Amino acid sequence: MPDFFKKIKNSIAVVFDNHQLFADSFGKMIENLRIFRDVHSFSNETDLIHYLINFPSDTTGYFFLDYYLEEKTALTLIADVKRMCRSSRIIIVSVVTSPALIRSLAAHPKVDGIISKYSGSPEVIDCIREVAGGGKYLAGYLQGILAQNAGLEQMPFTDRELEILQMASQGLTVDITAERLNISRHTVAAHRRKILAKANCNSVAELVVLARKWKWI
């Protein structure tokens, strides 16, 4: 048995995706690797949070999370997982293709790895091995996207600002954004003003056009 398998044999893998079929199929692939003590799959965030409440404090959890959730991104969920399971390892499993977003996630202090929903067992194992050793993992095709777009403007936004920008790009109002992120509408409005100022834009419409041009979203 490889050394890194021995290191994580008592760890638990948790898969979360809004789509039950993918959560179950990806969870089954992880289970077939036979390197984790247990594997659990969730498609409902409330169920996941309830599970985290009783997560064993002496156990390391490897959380495989989709980035694009039904009504928001995974940034808030990542913070919740880290808060409730301090020894967790976060691996994003997504179809993210925005160079700026890939760069932002790769630099995120709470994200340990990023792979594709199309990643097979060999790449998943490579990712787990790297993360178990204390490193960060970025799937090969994502590295290729960054290499091809090395000259793009860097994304100047915080995690929260990025969430609000993405919701604005979907046409969501201040009130709906506030409700989904569980913050006040005044906070959302303040973030929008900061985003506009950072991007030197006069309107949300202008901001969205610029964000798409520079592939921030």
Which residue type, as a one-letter code, is found at position 152? Answer: L
Tell me the CB-side half-sphere exposure of residue 126, using CA atoms within 13 A: 12
- Express each pLDDT in 8-50 by its tens digit: 888 999 999 999 999 999 999 999 999 999 999 999 989 999 9
Mean pLDDT of the residues in the chain: 87
Q: Kindly state the average pLDDT of the residues 92-103.
A: 84
Two tokens, residue 177: 């954004």
Place of tokens 């509408």: 185
pLDDT tens digits, one per residue of 156-206: 788 788 888 888 888 889 999 888 888 899 999 999 999 888 888 888 888
Confidence (pLDDT) at 125: 93
Q: What percent of the chain has pLDDT over 90?
A: 45
> What one-character DSSP code corresponds to residue 166?
H
All structural domains of the chain, each given as residue ranges with its CATH number in brackets, are 3-148 (3.40.50.2300), 159-213 (1.10.10.10)
Side chain identity at residue 176, one-letter code: I
